[in-house]
Structure 1
Amino acid sequence: MKFQHWLGLAALLTSGLLLWNLREVLIHLFAAVVLSMALCTLVGVLRQRWNMARPLALILCLSCLLLIVAVAVSVIIPPFFSEFQQLIQQLPAAARELQQIVMGWINHASSLVSGTGLSNGSSTAISSGLTALPNSSALASGVSGGLKGLLGLAGNLGGGLVQLLFVIAVALMVAIQPEAYRNVAILMVPSFYRRRARVILSQCGEALSSWMVGVLISSLCVAVLAGIGLSLLGVKLVMANALLAGLLNVIPNVGPTLSTVFPMSVALLDAPWKAVAVLGLYVVIQNIESYVITPSVMQHQVNLLPGLTLTAQFIFTVLFGPLGLLMALPLAVVMQVLIREIVIHDVLDPWKKRRALA
């Protein structure tokens, strides 16, 4: 290779190394872009319905969001955290109850097979083996720590607060002048591709907007259905469990599974059949969400295969940590649009046509 080729390769490797070292900053920037897209979507809806100026629509959106946050902080969040603390405190008792149920089942199965129950030595060995499993208190603290990580509060509280303020500040700046920032991004590509880049960026924005609207409606429906179902079953701490079901519904695959642990733990302390009923309830809710709610509210969303979604969650969690898990789906939505438009339509399809003409 010539000297300029080696120079270009070195510049490419240096850029890749720099981006790798700045990956945490990049994922926070992407989170800010997603948040700004949410604000821009709300502003667009207001401007379309009432034909108001963009600054006025943005001020109205921010005022409504601040009002919602104030109401949530004063009315919803205190009882939610109180009930959530009770949930965490009840996990050890639920684990002990589950251990006793498992021991009873093992003893009953042994009596059916051999005609006698477990001997004292075998019972002691199994009991000690179950006791040797991870401590339930450690499990509870691990779960609560994982939820804090998902909320961007991993590490010390000060660092998490700074990151949150950074994301909010960048999101507000982008939401105030979205066209200016879009033009800056377009200027970063070669001049012959800028018109096409503008179209692709618009498609990415539309895909993100439809995903956010769909996820919001889907999470609200899941929270309402979970609250109604848990109330009918007589399970305690309905508000905390329903809100957790709605919040964790944002994270596909992992979130719904994790949200089932808490209500089952509370129900297990009342009666074992309630825990089974709660599991059946959440299975029904997830099937309704997957086959009824999501297809109805996400008709124009970029369709993601479940296997690709799970792979994206694993890859982005390894690369970016807990925030990568939370941003895995919007990242996958944007990457699917980029791959479809750039790699397939602009690279592979013309190459195929050239080969056919040759």
Structure 2
Amino acid sequence: MMGERGSMAEFVRRVLVLIALLALVALTYKMTYLLLLLFGSVVVAVVIRLIARQFERIGLSQGIATTIAVLCIFGALAGLLWIFGGLISSQFALLYEQFPGAATQVQRQLNRWGLDFDLQAVAQAASQQASTIFQRAGGFVLTAGGVLTDMLLVLVGAIFLAANPEFYRKGVLRLLPRSAEPVAARTLDDSGNGLKLWLAGQAVASVFVGVLSYVGLTMIGVPSAAALAIIAAVLELIPYVGPILAAIPAIILGLSVDPTTGLWTLVLYVVIQQLEGYVITPLVQKRAVELPPLVLLFSIFAAGALFGPLGVILAAPLTVVVYIMIQHLYIGQVLGREPKVPGHHD
């Protein structure tokens, strides 16, 4: 009789554990968007810490250095907006006005060449596909939120994280068994280091692409060169997919001038990406996480399909962190092999 009661108690305990796990999975799924915002705060906090560390090297305390770093970021954004705000806004307004006419002119040119290609239909199909991907996040977005609310939440969270990162690091480690603390600590440290190296590398690549795009488009004579260069620099943060999306409006505007300008625009973007891929990226990867290209490419599409634009933006840094976690927790602990550490490659 006692044995039957013990078996029943064990069965009930297992059922309760299973229910608790399922509830945790369901809660995590419902809070996916909020967790992505939290990860966005981590990424921004890493940027703040990168800047703050430069001030800490001259003897300033962590709190003062972090405050100065935040003020530097706000000051840089305000300065760029004040100096280039009028130029950039006028360039984007011009781009918005010119693009429909440019697309129509390109369509007429294709018709004159006898090419059976409906550019407008393709553009509408692409727009519908993009809308489908970007609206998948609707179920995850907080109803009381919005873009500005999300940005404010990410920024405030980043400031708190950057002000005292060690406090939150210790808090995470205290949730784990003592036996798992050393591995978890190494994983967290390498994840943070990997994010820093990735962000530094992407910043260099974005500036490189933006400057070359502006110079090249201006020399070729493509309209709205400044706006197109900004688009190219920003979309460079999305590997593989971003450069293709950035090249499309530039090529169409180039073709609206004349076919030769359109062809030179295509050549320009190809050359810039080749230089970025074979010069900048290898230099960056010597000190960063060398992600398998196929993994990174599919992670971007998967994140976009599941979580919308925020998933696309955070896909690459999230893949960096997941890759490092797999190196430590699976390859290192389960397989017993030496994990790859950010900044050290064979």
Question: Could you say which TM-score interval applies, normalised by the shorter chain?
Answer: 0.7 to 0.9
Q: Say yes or no: does 1:22 pair with 2:31.
A: yes
Give the alignment of 1:79-90 within 5 angstroms: 79-90=87-98
Give the alignment of 1:234-273 within 5 angstroms: 234-273=221-260
Asked if the contact 2:136–2:307 (Cα under 8 Å) also holds between the matched residues in 1, the reply is no
Give the alignment of 1:343-354 within 5 angstroms: 343-349=330-336
SS in 2 for 1:13: helix
Q: Say yes or no: does 1:320 pair with 2:328.
A: no
SS in 2 for 1:349: coil
Asked if the contact 1:88–1:140 (Cα under 8 Å) also holds between the matched residues in 2, the reply is no
Matched with 2:68 is: 60
Matched with 2:21 is: 12
Deviations 1:276-304 (A, max 9, x none): 11011000000100110121233221111
Matched with 2:217 is: 230
Matched with 1:310 is: 297
Q: CA 1:146 to 1:88, structure 2 compared with 1: closer, same or farther past 3 Å?
A: farther
Q: Say yes or no: does 1:92 pair with 2:79.
A: no
Between 138-147 and 268-277, the greater mean CA deviation after superposition = 138-147
Asked if the contact 1:91–1:140 (Cα under 8 Å) also holds between the matched residues in 2, the reply is no
Between 36-45 and 26-35, the greater mean CA deviation after superposition = 36-45
Matched with 1:130 is: 118
Matched with 2:344 is: none
Asked if the contact 2:50–2:196 (Cα under 8 Å) also holds between the matched residues in 1, the reply is yes
Q: CA 1:148 to 1:5, structure 2 compared with 1: closer, same or farther past 3 Å?
A: closer
Task: Tell me how far apart the structure 2 counterparts of residues 237 and 140 of structure 1 sit (CA, whole Å).
Answer: 22
SS in 2 for 1:2: helix
Deviations 1:26-81 (A, max 9, x none): 00000001100111122223323x23221221122122212111112212233212
Asked if the contact 2:183–2:328 (Cα under 8 Å) also holds between the matched residues in 1, the reply is no
Task: Tell me how far apart the structure 2 counterparts of residues 231 and 155 of structure 1 sit (CA, whole Å).
Answer: 42
Task: Measure how far apart 1:155 and its partner are.
Answer: 10
Task: Measure how far apart 1:140 and its partner are.
Answer: 8.3
Task: Measure how far apart 1:176 and its partner are.
Answer: 0.7
Q: Say yes or no: does 1:182 pair with 2:169.
A: yes
Matched with 1:210 is: 197
SS in 2 for 1:180: helix
Runs in 1 of length 4+ with deviation above 4 angstroms?
Answer: 138-150, 154-158
Match of 1:166 among 143, 153, 170: 153
Q: CA 1:145 to 1:7, structure 2 compared with 1: closer, same or farther past 3 Å?
A: closer
SS in 2 for 1:302: coil
Task: Tell me how far apart the structure 2 counterparts of residues 279 and 146 of structure 1 sit (CA, whole Å).
Answer: 27
Matched with 2:326 is: 339
Asked if the contact 2:133–2:304 (Cα under 8 Å) also holds between the matched residues in 1, the reply is no
% same residue? 30
Task: Tell me how far apart the structure 2 counterparts of residues 33 and 14 of structure 1 sit (CA, whole Å).
Answer: 26
Q: Alpha carbon RMSD of aligned pairs, Å?
A: 2.9
Task: Tell me how far apart the structure 1 counterparts of residues 234 and 277 of structure 2 sit (CA, whole Å).
Answer: 16
SS in 2 for 1:348: coil
Task: Tell me how far apart the structure 1 counterparts of residues 135 and 200 of structure 2 sit (CA, whole Å).
Answer: 24
Task: Tell me how far apart the structure 2 counterparts of residues 22 and 156 of structure 1 sit (CA, whole Å).
Answer: 13
Match of 2:207 among 214, 220, 232: 220
Task: Measure how far apart 1:15 and its partner are.
Answer: 0.6
Asked if the contact 1:90–1:265 (Cα under 8 Å) also holds between the matched residues in 2, the reply is no
Kindly provide the amino acid, as one letter, of the partner of residue 201 in structure 2.
G
Q: CA 1:25 to 1:155, structure 2 compared with 1: closer, same or farther past 3 Å?
A: closer
Kindly provide the amino acid, as one letter, of the partner of residue 97 in structure 2.
Q
Task: Tell me how far apart the structure 2 counterparts of residues 82 and 243 of structure 1 sit (CA, whole Å).
Answer: 13
Q: Say yes or no: does 1:39 pair with 2:48.
A: yes
Deviations 1:1-32 (A, max 9, x none): 83322222221111111100000100000000
Task: Measure how far apart 1:182 and its partner are.
Answer: 0.7
Matched with 2:342 is: none
Give the alignment of 1:287-306 within 5 angstroms: 287-306=274-293
Kindly provide the amino acid, as one letter, of the partner of residue 305 in structure 1.
P
Task: Tell me how far apart the structure 1 counterparts of residues 304 and 189 of structure 2 sit (CA, whole Å).
Answer: 27
Task: Tell me how far apart the structure 2 counterparts of residues 141 and 221 of structure 1 sit (CA, whole Å).
Answer: 32
Asked if the contact 1:149–1:323 (Cα under 8 Å) also holds between the matched residues in 2, the reply is no
Give the alignment of 1:187-198 within 5 angstroms: 187-198=174-185
**Bigger radius of gyration among the two:** 1
Asked if the contact 2:103–2:120 (Cα under 8 Å) also holds between the matched residues in 1, the reply is no
Task: Tell me how far apart the structure 1 counterparts of residues 85 and 267 of structure 2 sit (CA, whole Å).
Answer: 28
